[in-house]
Amino acid sequence: MLKVMESAVKNIKEYLKKNDINSAVRVIMQSSCSGTSLGLGLDDKKDSDKVFEEDGVTFLVDNGMFATTGAIKIDYIKPSGCGCGGDSGSGGFLVSSENKLGSGGSCSTGSCSSGSCGC
- What is the set of domains in the chain, with CATH numbers? 2-114 (2.60.300.12)
Model confidence at 115: pLDDT above 50: no
Please report which confidence band the pLDDT of residue 59 belongs to, taking 50, 70 and 90 as the band edges. very high
Q: In the predicted model, what is the mean pLDDT of residues 74-91?
A: 68
**CB under 8 A, 24+ apart: contacts of 29-35:** 29/65, 29/68, 29/69, 29/101, 31/102, 31/104, 32/104, 32/107, 33/104, 33/105, 33/106, 33/107, 34/104, 34/105, 34/106, 34/107, 34/108, 35/101, 35/102, 35/103, 35/104
Q: In the predicted model, what is the mean pLDDT of residues 5-30?
A: 95
Q: Are 29 and 69 spatial neighbours (Cβ–Cβ below 8 Å)?
A: yes
Model confidence at 119: pLDDT above 50: no
Smallest CA-to-CA distance from 3 within 76, 103, 63 is with: 76
